[in-house]
Structure 1
């Protein structure tokens, strides 16, 4: 957490410079005014000249009590001084007392200067680091960060967004809030981060928001254990009633972490994201999900869209391979052959699989491709299968196909050696009957 305090120190230094340019609201009583001037001169020397802000605490404490409306600069200096004193203090009880005092200084600043949004944003930096090991403080912290976010929106410091979720997780562990409440807080944080990224005016701020998002995602996935039924219960109605990209992406990430790939809600969100952002990768995921649900027509439709989104032959070949497998399982033989041929054309490494698949289709089609009375023509399908296995370089399957060839006697009797035969079933190929010496 140290890096957040380094950032805060820079902010406070800037604010301090601005505040010190303001005219102090000195007490009207002459003696009190003189004393206040001396205290201010003293503590500013401690901070600015001697670089020991912890030495300014006593003088600032007197001013906070006797001249609380002196100026906003007093509270900026008080935060710096008290935090330095806290850092120097070793006694746990004394350190805790100073921490509590610092928290009241923030509240006192709000009382006198009507600066709640900015002041609570600063307070949030310190509050979690002071109290994260105090379970009894968690509900108070939850309300604090809730108020900070309500007042500041995308101007909330990224650290405070992270602290908000961590407090919620702490309360969940104490069984003081349920999973649904933590999820809502997580979604609030995600929404705020998205707005913060849009509003970011420089790379440093943008990176802080990006780091915050990475951290809250990690916290949520690690500490909030939801099963698929719980996720569906929390999100399904909300998403179906008012779907949007941000929520769909959040549901996707949560369900992936819980490995809810068989969930209908996961399919719905992925399909929604694909329609909103039709990318090749999204298409492959959605088509695969539809296929796993035996929604073949939907899977085919999305795979076809994936072809149009593919940027390379390799990506197209991957789709054709999926389509080949899908149509093979559904028995769409001609379509399967067409996809296999496309696969072999685009990816030579997949050609053996593609041609073997076609050969298998031919060989298993004997019952429907053995019409007619000519025994040679009846067995021509096996020759077509053999030819495909040969193109695949699959000698084992070639030997299998030969077992179904017409015999030498059948070819001799019918006088078919060397003649072309067109297979009239779905295969529709023309094959050459082998010479007798080759049978």
Structure 2
């Protein structure tokens, strides 16, 4: 009896093993077929083996989801009507299956971002209006803001609420609030990529050569930063005439008593009034004072500084500029603050102090090529004032050109522009014939006034 039971159990065990082996073999065959077809972009032929693997052995290989994504996107592109919608929904379902079966390859936030982009791209096929598109991105922003990194998605998120305002579906304050949310988010992403980029820039500036993989990372970081800059400009354009003094002043006057102790509201109100040049209205003074009283910070001290400068109180204003810089502890924010101060001082004609702040910005953020451009432009603009004779005045342009070329080295997105600026300055410097005539090739020329540097005449 025992022998019989043992034989039965052995037979069952073998049959199960054979079954599993057959299933594994079928999965392997279908994975191979799917992969081969997909690699050669024969997506229609890849669909059947893909669905077999997806349904029969969902945990067998991540390739099911990687290639399945491409296969279903091809189906979506080719389909129309209800079939198109079905494939769109199936692709979103596939992403959820991928998260369940390969959680190391997917994230819930990443899926939300992909779904929001898909809904936007196919909003017409899905019959979605602005509200449904906005809600998809809003869900991502609220549930997983750290995953919301797509520059185009951030633009769509804001652009859609502007469209909703124009359709009288939301209030103008809702648009302003979302603008601030999105700009803050872009700022976070810019800081993130800048922090990753800066060490690579410093290596190159130190004479090191980046390996192929690291150079590719550098290119990617620069690309993201370029995209975020473009998106920021597009968002400002989309905001357009909504954020003008005629709209802002009555709005903030209405809400001032309600929010006069709310530092976030005050910060946003002051920033917008300042950026839109609504600073002549008495309300701006009230906003700045309330902001500085509620949450003294680098920002508040800078706004007080500008307020006093506008009133002609330069001596009283200066300490606020220093306080603003000292209060900021975040290196990248401090670098941005130094840029802001440099530009302000440049407008006032205080070029030496302006350069000092641009250089501080570079110390904190070495990939900030725009600081080099600002310095180069100041050198070029001062050529007639900082040389002793015609030759030395034009020699200043060599300094300007060298500074401009630094911008292109540290910021790949500026290289073409910086090289063009440098070439233009070099065209204004002494010619080879003039150097030959003067016979001073290789000589060091001291540049006076606020520049206080030396430049070596090229040898010919």
Higher relative contact order (CA 8 A, sep 6+): 2
What TM-score, normalized to structure 1?
0.50
What TM-score, normalized to structure 2?
0.48
